[in-house]
A and B are shown apart, each in its own frame.
Chain A
Amino acid sequence: MRISYREAMRQALHDALTSDPRVFLMGEDVGRYGGTYAVSKGFYDEFGPERIRDTPLSELGFVGAGIGAALGGMRPIVEVMTVNFSLLALDQIVNSAALLRHMSGGQVSVPLVIRMATGAGRQLAAQHSHSLENWYAHIPGIRVLAPATIADARGMLAPALADPDPVVIFEHAQLYNMEDELPDDSNEEPNEDWRCDIERAAIRRPGSQVSVITYGGSLPKALEAAAELARDGIDVEVVDLRVLRPLDTETIAESVSRTHRALIVDEGWRSGSLAGEVMARIVEHCFYDLDAPPVRVCSEEVPIPYAKHMEEAALPQPAKIVAAVREMLNV
């Protein structure tokens, strides 16, 4: 079955709402509007306004309400329209969701899923183009996921909901229209065939000469670059982090110690980036296996501009990845 990332996410949500009466979806325009990215289209009519709960533009309020509802026995899925607006809810995510378990000495857990779109690439200018995944990945107490494939869009939500602790899911806005094959569900239990782990990174393309490590919206770019390099006989491995917190150091180190070279692609700004953390772990774990210094392709240190050519220049692109790999290999 060939479906879009949007449809995969929609099916995952539909399964969650169908299989567990404690699950409800809450956020701005998730109901009558059908979701800003049309992920919850039709849900309002099917599940009703209690479970597909439209909220006012009160990110702090409804994210906090999601935390409270999770404490109270529900399994809320809170959709913060985009990461840009999640800054208005940052206090509740960082100071409540992530900390309550610890501050209570382990008495409470917060089984909350927060979904948000992230990333640039659609000429939405500086305030609507952030990639702040690493801000969240910095915080102990929350799990951070970045589904970048159809299978992960379909399969990550169920284990995220089963997690007793808060999970933040970043959906790169550029991925919603991406299509791919998804195997048919042969199992009678909803979701069983697609349920995937939310622990490990994945090697999306095996290769031998350099490990390109990336996540989210940069994964298709890395795969495109790898395909182009393959035409010139350069064999690139592409690692998809998938889980941004806790990072799967083992898979990263295994790959890099095999290829002896690492290039990290991250749509976040270079300074203080997740790419920096990945690079640090590579240096900590694989220093003596490296044949070259690790390299990063990140967003340029500039707010994302509106003009198309300027936006493209600010972001990681396949051509930049290709050039960086060639430079590393000196070919």
Chain B
Amino acid sequence: MNTTRHKAQAGTAPSARPFAHRLLADMLRIRRMEEKCAELYGAQKIRGFLHLYIGEEACATGAMHALDADDNVVATYREHGHALLRGVPMDAIMAEMFGKAAGCSRGRGGSMHLFDTARRFYGGNAIVGGGLPLAVGLALADRMQGIRRVTACFFGEGAVAEGAFHEGMNLAALWRLPVLFLCENNLYAMGTALDRSESQTELCVKAASYKVPTLKVDGMDVLAVHEATRRAAQQVREEGGPFFVEFRTFRFRAHSMFDPELYRDKAEVEEWKKRGPIHSFSAQLKAAGELSEDGFLELDAEAEAEVAAAVAFAEAAAWEPVEDLLRDVTTPGVQR
């Protein structure tokens, strides 16, 4: 194989790379960042809850590449990858995990509450289903102001058991609002399997009951995720109403760092790992002659370097002075 031709062109701007390489590079960025997070958690640099996305990277990667920079994004507490691919600098994400003032939420949010309004990233929400009504409202505001924009709302399959899912789905459909509902179905709501919590496990049927059009796609296949999201987003943009996409995926790690994983067989995890989105996609590219091993290693090294720089940034960043404790509760300096 001609390794030179298929090198990942580490020195070139990511946007100049072949699209497939950009997808792969972004999945690697998420993976390496989170592996480091797990390590830093062990070293007690990162505390609190830490929900890793490892195994699910194809979902955020395929979906984010199908959205416009001006779209709104609402995410969950497993949102490190979404924030990163939305353009939040890894430095700011890592500093947030460390609890530093340079974090993207000034260290007040932590892992579950990454925010960046400049990039229209409306947060990590740690109440399951809590983001759906917010997404409906963001879309309503756009509609009322004549702004043509999609609001993408990520949530897990656990959220479909919440009233917020049903109320949000109904409102979006009833009012024909441009909300793109993106359900990352990783089969376990913490420790409860979907078929142990839902009488109807076909999630698209639930969405369809609100007359929301649906697509179900293999969430381990980044190209399939991208294509489904692109089609769905296009329909939302053109027709105005909502769309529901289900990504069938799997998290390889525990729910959080406190989870002993008593509820699922190791064999099931191993079976899903065979379909891991990074190695399956890179294998696919290699088989097609679109990626060399060296090319892969370059992308990987680039991701590792970005992670190392982010960790160094977070380590060096300052703590917020405790005198500032009461800031950002209400807006300062307002004459009421």
| Partner-B contacts on A (CB < 8 A) | 24, 50, 55-56, 58, 60-74, 76, 88, 91-92, 95-96, 100-109, 140-141, 143, 159, 162-165, 197-199
Report whether B107 and A105 are in contact in the complex, using a CB–CB cutoff of 8 Å.
yes
Binary A-proximity of B132-176 (CB < 8 A = 1, otherwise 0): 111111111110110000000000000000011001101100100
Are B329's CB and A104's CB within 8 A? no
Q: A60-B133, A164-B334 are in contact. Are A106 and B138 (CB under 8 A)?
A: no
Residue B191 is within 8 A (CB to CB) of chain A in the complex: no
Task: Tell whether, in the assembled complex, residue B130 and residue A105 are in contact, meaning their CB atoms are under 8 Å apart.
Answer: no
Chain B residues within 8 Å of A88, by CB: 163
Residues of B within 8 A of A (CB): 72, 103-109, 113, 115-117, 122-123, 125, 127, 130, 132-142, 144-145, 163-164, 167-168, 170-171, 174, 327-331, 334, 336
Q: Looking at the complex, which one of B106, B137, B171, B331 makes contact with A72 (CB distance below 8 Å)?
A: B137
Query: Given A56-B174, A60-B167, A108-B117, 9 more contacts at CB 8 Å?
Result: A68-B135, A68-B139, A92-B130, A101-B329, A104-B117, A105-B106, A105-B108, A106-B328, A140-B329
B140 touching A68, Cβ below 8 Å: yes
Q: From the candidates A24, A61, A71, A198, name the one contacting B138 in the complex (CB within 8 A).
A: A71
Query: Does B145 lie within 8 Å of A103, measured CB to CB?
Result: no
**A65 and B336 within 8 A (CB):** no
Residues of B within 8 A of A159 (CB): 336
Expressed in whole angstroms, the Cα–Cα distance for A74 and B138 within the complex equals 9
Q: How far is the CB of A69 from chain B (nearest CB, A)?
A: 4
**A69 near B144: Cβ-Cβ < 8 Å:** yes
Which residue of the partner chain, among A50, A71, A105, A197, contacts B122 with CB atoms under 8 Å?
A: A71
Chain A residues near B125: list those with CB within 8 A. Answer: 96
B-side contacts of A103, CB under 8 Å: 105, 108-109, 113, 115, 123
Q: Which residue of B lies closest to A109 (CB)?
A: B331
In contact, A61 and B141 (Cβ under 8 angstroms): no
Most chain B CB neighbours (cut-off 10 Å) among A92, A107, A109: A107
Query: What's the Cα separation between A108 and B132 when bound, in Å?
Result: 18
Q: In the docked arrangement, what's the CA distance between A162 and B103, Å?
A: 30
Residue among A24, A58, A65 with the highest chain B CB neighbour number at 10 A: A65
Question: Closest CB of chain A to B153's CB: distance in Å?
Answer: 10
- Pairwise interchain contact A71-B328, C-beta atoms closer than 8 A: no
* Shortest Cβ-Cβ A-B pairs, 7 listed: A68-B137, A64-B133, A72-B141, A61-B167, A105-B106, A104-B115, A65-B137
| Residue of B134, B135, B145 touching A74 (CB-CB under 8 A) | B145
Q: Are A65 and B171 in contact (CB under 8 A)?
A: yes
Q: A103-B105, A107-B105, A108-B122 are in contact. Are A64 and B144 (CB under 8 A)?
A: no
Known contacts A71-B141, A96-B125: A105-B134 contact under CB 8 Å: no
Would you give the shortest CB distance from A100 to chain B, in whole angstroms? 7
